[in-house]
Structure 1
Amino acid sequence: MKRAICIVFSMLMMSGCQTTQSTEGTNWDAEQALWGSAYDQDNKKRFIPVQLWTGGSWDSQHQITTPLTNFQFGSRNHKRTEGPFDWINPITNKPSKMYKRFNNGKIQFFTIREDQTGLGRSYDNRWSLYCADEAKFPLGWWMEGEERTFTYQCTSGENLDTYTVKLTIDTLDYTYQGRKHALKYSWKLFRGDSRVDSKTYIYAPHKGMVEVW
């Protein structure tokens, strides 16, 4: 299995994802009302599309899609997300649409969970880590203050580990530096009963991830 994983990864890195530099992030004034339609004020719930994660334009349709992107973000524009591309996860042996995220030397592949309630890593080069159905970012309908728990498996070398993630919506319709309709949420990672990592994220329309701590 290990040799097969290396072959698949090598082929993917040679082929790359050939897209042109995106102009995403330039139409905020025109789209602000569209992003406002994601929020159901009466029921305190919001539809979270993939485009909030990619930094792209959104047409206000309450559907989980895999839009094309090649988007730079971060305080120094030193991070980039591109895709989608087709890839077979060596854990599940199933083809999926992937996004590739670059951050200096870090390379990660992200995909939508089968139940479409979140988006998470399928690969992380820092530990030669391969995962199935991880959740790092919430998708679809979520409520203010809602917490959901996800369990998934990852392999690194010969090791197979089971992890649990808790995603909690801190502020569903957040204003970030004057930009409305951002999202603030918490991510907690557990292995067994031990918490091994935790982060708070802010994502803003047409900007992608703007804060993490």
Structure 2
Amino acid sequence: MKKYIKIFIVTILFLPILGYTDSTSDEKDSWDKAYNSATKQRFIPVELFTGERWDGKHELNLKEASTTACAIVIGRDRPCDNYYLSGPFKTDTNNTKIEWAGNEIPYYKRTYSTQRGGEVESFFTINNSRDGLVRIYDKRKQWGVRTYKGLGSKFPLGYWKQGEVRTYPSDRPTRIEIVELDGPNHCLTFRWVIGLGERRNQDNNYTFCPDKGFTEFKHNN
């Protein structure tokens, strides 16, 4: 009898481990299949931005997220900076040109601290063209509060190809170029340029990785 009790206890303890392994395997399979070798396209989900787990569905939704990403600045000898993301929340009104959202806009809030400028708070949502995440609100010491119309893009979403470039008609034209579509561990690197990209922070490379979110930042000027 004792022998059967021990077997039962071990089985119960082992089942959650099996479930976790299956879940991890399913997610890895989803990231593996995100790239289509026939079309040379990759589907980029919102979860690559948030760092949350992805169910593999080729849909763009702002699902519940609460994550901390740690991104290094390439070329600087210092620890990574922490980026805290949570949401989605909703605005009281829609003061943008984002038509799909209706009267209230769902958004993620991201905060981080700079060495000189203090805390930065930004709100991100899916842009009007539904092929990227865009800032609709930004607050920092050197700028104060800024709001945006939602016509630009800060992070590519949906189907993209290696080397593809898209331009967005925001107040200052924004351009996104895919530098590495499906790198090691399915990480994505893209170049983001605003205006002519002549000033600092107007021409940058960003890297995001599954289950981590934002991992690397590089100034191109």
TM-score range, shorter chain: 0.7 to 0.9
AA of the residue aligned to 1:121: R
- Determine the structure 2 residue equivalent to 1:169: 178
- Determine the structure 2 residue equivalent to 1:149: 167
Stretches of structure 1 lacking an aligned partner (at least 5 in a row): 1-26, 153-161
- Determine the structure 2 residue equivalent to 1:79: 83
Count of residues in correspondence between the two structures:
172
Quick check: 1:35–1:181 contact (8 Å CA) kept in 2?
yes
Question: What do the CA deviations read for 1:105-143 (whole angstroms, capped 9, x no partner)?
Answer: 110011101221010110110221100123000000001
Q: Normalized per residue, which structure has more helix?
A: 2
Q: Does 1:38 align with 2:38?
A: no
Distance across 2 between alignment mates of 1:184 and 1:48: 12
SS at match of 1:148: strand
- Determine the structure 1 residue equivalent to 2:11: none
TM score, norm. by length of structure 1:
0.75
Stretches of structure 2 lacking an aligned partner (at least 5 in a row): 1-22, 72-79, 114-118
1:171 Cα shift? Answer: 0.9
Question: What do the CA deviations read for 1:53-83 (whole angstroms, capped 9, x no partner)?
Answer: 0001111111101110010111557320000
SS at match of 1:64: coil
AA of the residue aligned to 1:84: P
The structure-2 alpha-carbon separation of the partners of 1:195 and 1:150, relative to structure 1 and needing over 3 Å to count, comes to: farther
- Determine the structure 2 residue equivalent to 1:15: none
- Determine the structure 2 residue equivalent to 1:57: 53
- Determine the structure 2 residue equivalent to 1:69: 65
- Determine the structure 2 residue equivalent to 1:24: none
Quick check: 2:81–2:112 contact (8 Å CA) kept in 1?
no
Name the stretch that deviates more: 127-136 or 67-76. 67-76
Percent identical residues = 32
Quick check: 2:95–2:149 contact (8 Å CA) kept in 1?
no
Question: What do the CA deviations read for 1:169-199 (whole angstroms, capped 9, x no partner)?
Answer: 0111011xxxx11101100000xx5644111
SS at match of 2:27: helix
Q: Does 1:188 align with 2:193?
A: yes
Computing the radius of gyration over CA atoms, which structure comes out larger, 1 or 2?
Answer: 2
TM score, norm. by length of structure 2:
0.73
RMSD over equivalenced CA pairs, Å: 1.9
AA of the residue aligned to 2:108: Y
